[in-house]
């Protein structure tokens, strides 16, 4: 039995080492792409003769866009590592989830306007309180709303529903978009996993949003899952998660 335990320990260490190597390779790759672009444009700007002024401006805009993307990757990575370390579980207080939802929608409104996507949700404020961390809850809604806007069709709404289930509140964030093939569904909560790389680049995604979302939900003692297509719908994706209701006296 001792030998078997050692064997298991070694295979666990090997698995962790492979995960670590994959992670470092992924981070390097994700940062290298925008960095290569910044370097290329900066070099062209410094070349003699200098390009015309309007071209210079568009190069600088590309540099800024790529630098912003790198900042987003680093922010998301720091966020994820804080959540994963377990050091920062969160500050859980009774909260109206509809306020977090409205704030998250506000944060996505530029993208929503661009794609002409509306939010459809029964937002009755003061109806329920969940026991949640305010920043994490807002981030969770924001990640799921942003995905529904990005991967959903233009001109179609994102629908958010909620339902009481025992001592929990169950939320569904649903779109009518391209959906997620069954084969990819078990993997989309992994860091840097994406179904279609080209779509990610179009929106400057980091591939970390769902990994962060899963950590947030599990920090709150809940579960998150995807249904694609959603029950009773021909297409799209629904992300379903639960949060604990706050005690009545709170
Ligand atoms: P990203 O920053 O790439 O959007 P996420 O971790 O949020 O990263 O999502 C991981 C991948 O899951 C996405 O790249 C996309 O392929 C897929 N995905 C997430 N949400 C949806 C959705 N609502 N509809 C279709 N695909 C989605």
pLDDT at 235: 95
Q: Per residue in 29-53, pLDDT tens?
A: 889 999 999 999 999 999 988 889 9
Task: Specify the residue with its C-alpha closest to ligand 1, atom 21.
Answer: 147
pLDDT at 250: 46
Q: pTM (2 decimals)?
A: 0.88
Cα–ligand 1 centroid distance for 73 (angstroms): 15
Q: Per residue in 97-146, pLDDT tens?
A: 999 999 999 999 999 999 999 999 987 777 899 999 999 999 999 999 99
Q: Per residue in 206-225, pLDDT tens?
A: 899 999 999 999 999 999 99
Assess whether the C-beta atom of 133 lies below 6 angstroms from ligand 1.
no
DSSP the chain: -HHHHHHHHHHHHHHHHHHHHHHHHHHHHHHHHHHHHHHHHHHHHHSSSPPPHHHHHHHHHHHHHHHHHHHHHHHHHHHHHHHHHSS-----EEE-HHHHHHHHHHHTHHHHHHTT--EEE---TTS--EEE-HHHHHHHHHHHHHHHHHHSPTT--EEEEEEEETTEEEEEEEE-SS---TTTGGGTTSTT--S-HHHHHHHT--S-HHHHHHHHHHHTT--EEEESSPTT-SS-EEEEEEEEBPPTT-
């Amino acid at each position: 039995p001792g030998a078997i335990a050692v064997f298991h320990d070694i295979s666990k260490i090997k698995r962790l080492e492979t995960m670590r190597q994959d992670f470092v390779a992924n981070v390097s790759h994700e940062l290298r792409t925008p960095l290569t672009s910044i370097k290329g444009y900066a070099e062209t700007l410094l070349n003699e003769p200098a390009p015309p002024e309007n071209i210079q401006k568009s190069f600088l805009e590309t540099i800024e866009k790529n630098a912003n993307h790198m900042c987003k990757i680093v922010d998301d990575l720091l966020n994820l590592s804080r959540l994963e370390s377990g050091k920062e579980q969160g500050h859980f207080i009774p909260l109206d989830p509809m306020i977090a939802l409205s704030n998250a929608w506000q944060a996505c409104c530029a993208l929503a306007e661009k794609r002409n996507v509306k939010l459809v949700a029964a937002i009755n404020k003061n109806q329920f309180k969940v026991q949640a961390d305010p920043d994490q809850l807002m981030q969770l809604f924001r990640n799921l709303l942003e995905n529904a806007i990005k991967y959903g069709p233009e001109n179609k709404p994102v629908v958010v529903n909620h339902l009481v289930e025992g001592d929990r509140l169950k939320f569904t964030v649903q779109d009518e978009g391209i959906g997620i093939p069954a084969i990819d569904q078990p993997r989309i909560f992994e860091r840097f996993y994406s179904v279609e790389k080209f779509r990610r680049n179009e929106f400057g995604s980091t591939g970390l949003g769902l990994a962060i979302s899963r950590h947030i939900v599990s920090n709150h003692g809940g579960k998150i899952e995807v249904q694609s297509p959603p029950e009773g719908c021909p297409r799209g994706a629904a992300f379903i998660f639960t949060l604990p209701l706050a005690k009545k006296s709170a």
